[in-house]
Amino acid sequence: MSELFEGNTGWLVGYVIGIVVVLVVVALVVPILILARKIGNEAGLINESLQKSVQNTAALADLATTNTMAINVVEGLKRGRGRLGG
């Protein structure tokens, strides 16, 4: 093997550095890709949960109307009570 690179030490060093750089890049990118896949899988579940939350809280949009009607009823009862002398 040493005969193959005899007189070409620079090439050998270059190949070794290149292989090391590629291995380091792979070692850094693979965990990122694994994490991205996990996040992608969870995103579907999160989206389903949020859609259920929207459905479960849709009635809260009418809360202001309900509050206004309750105030009107209470005020009407106060007026009726006042007219009856109480």
56 — phi, psi (to 5°)? Answer: -70, -25
**pTM for this structure?**
0.50
Per-residue tens of pLDDT for the chain, all 86 residues: 567 667 788 888 899 999 999 999 999 999 999 999 999 999 989 999 999 999 998 888 888 888 999 999 999 999 988 888 86
Q: Is residue 3 part of a domain?
A: no
Task: Return the structure tokens found at 33.
Answer: 């890709």
Number of domains in the chain: 1
Q: Is residue 2 part of a domain?
A: no
Q: Is residue 50 part of a domain?
A: yes
Please provide the DSSP assignment of 22-42 as one string: HHHHHHHHHHHHHHHHHHHHH
Cα–Cα distance, 52 to 58 (Å, whole number): 10
Q: Is residue 4 part of a domain?
A: no
Q: Is residue 57 part of a domain?
A: yes
Three-state secondary-structure class, residue 66: helix
Q: What is the CA radius of gyration of the chain?
A: 36
